Amino acid sequence: MNNEIKNEKVPLTGMTQSELTHLCKEYGEPDFRGNQLFNWIYSQKERNIMKMENLPKILRDSLDENYKVSSLQLSKVNASSTGQTSKYLFSIPSGEKIESVLIEEKKRITVCLSTQVGCALGCTFCATAKMGFMKNLSVGEIVDQFLFLQNASERRITNVVFMGMGEPFLNYGRVISAAQLLNDPDGIKLGAGKITISTAGIVPKIIRYADEGWKFKLAVSLNGTVDKERSKIMPINKKYSINDILSSAQYFYEKTGSIITFEYVLIENKTDSIGDALKLKYLLKGLPCKVNVIPYNSFDDSFQRPDTKRIEQFLNELKSGSFIVTVRWSHGTEISAGCGQLAVMNGDNIEN
């Protein structure tokens, strides 16, 4: 039970039921105390150890001396003018900051979680890339975002997307563990089909994910139809080409029977031509999948969103393809909470 940082309490969020049971046994308590502690943290979402009333006071006192529930500290909340979208700025124990987003749309309440501080992939159309890569988040730091946002929401969160800051598959083990905690029937109880993990196309991890048989949804940011052009905006394409990604998607489908969602950002004069739509239809022909088209959300003057007419032309061409097509109009773009806009610069929000 040595604290990782001297004189710093160790967060309980991120620990599994078995780990909490082991912890309670170290204090001489029976196994069921671990189950109670797990329930308080993940099901009842209690943030104060001393308020966990069915735990013996001596255990609460001992835990409170060495542990804390949360691994994050809330620094700031920005709400959109409609009130549908809120962006949360958190500090982690090592001092860096991350962002998460809560989106309320009719009956669907979605949270977008970060998995890294910054990102190493360097996608030129993404604000997070401007930060560079700093570190992977712990399991607790990932799950704690959800717990904070659930406590802030008046309604139960229905969907989780790992699409915030960072590349989830470059923090693979911790992301999977976080998803398992979100899905745990004794805790948060979010269905596996309501959890989506997104990747820019880390092919070996897509294969591993398929082999391990996880039931969480998988999304791949494609954002291009020609290797030369995709490599300009997504440098990871130089390592894992479009054909590599499509092959891994086919493997994933054959192995799991589940379809991949391809995310496709429409960037003016980069990915939005009728020719791109035709190529995309050709590339995905015969592959059971879904294409989620995302009109670009700008954060500087490097790229622009196509005009409405050009977006409609692209969609009209794409809808004659053999796959499902949806459109994601990002919410909260005015507070830089849209897809591709999350970033923290100089210790605060990039948009301030």
The answer to whether the CB of 176 falls within 8 A of the CB of 218 is no
pTM value?
0.94
Residue 8 annotated to the active site: no
Residue 289 annotated to the active site: no
Q: Which domains are assigned to the chain?
A: 10-68 (1.10.150.530), 73-349 (3.20.20.70)
Q: What is the pLDDT along the chain (352 residues), one digit of tens a residue?
A: 444 445 689 999 999 999 999 999 999 999 999 999 999 999 999 999 999 999 999 999 999 999 999 999 999 999 988 888 999 999 999 999 999 999 998 899 999 999 999 999 999 999 999 999 999 999 999 999 999 999 999 999 999 999 999 999 999 999 999 999 999 999 999 999 999 999 999 999 999 999 999 999 999 999 999 999 999 999 999 999 999 999 999 999 999 999 999 999 999 999 999 999 999 999 999 999 999 999 998 888 889 999 999 999 999 999 999 999 999 877 777 787 778 878 886 545 444 3
- Give the ranges where the chain is alpha helix by DSSP (H): 17-26, 31-38, 57-66, 139-152, 172-183, 203-212, 227-233, 242-256, 274-284, 308-318
Torsion of CA 25, 31, 33, 34, to 10 degrees: 80
3-state SS class at 74:
strand
Residue among 24, 123, 126, 339 flagged as catalytic: 339
Residue among 29, 46, 99, 104 flagged as catalytic: 99
Tokens at 174, concatenated = 């911790």
Q: Which whole-number Å values give the CA distances from 254 to 187, 257, 288, 289, 335, in the listed order? A: 32, 6, 10, 12, 41
What is the distance between the alpha carbons of residues 214 and 51, in angstroms, rounded to a whole number?
35
Tokens at 226, concatenated = 């020609």
Tokens at 53, concatenated = 């009333």
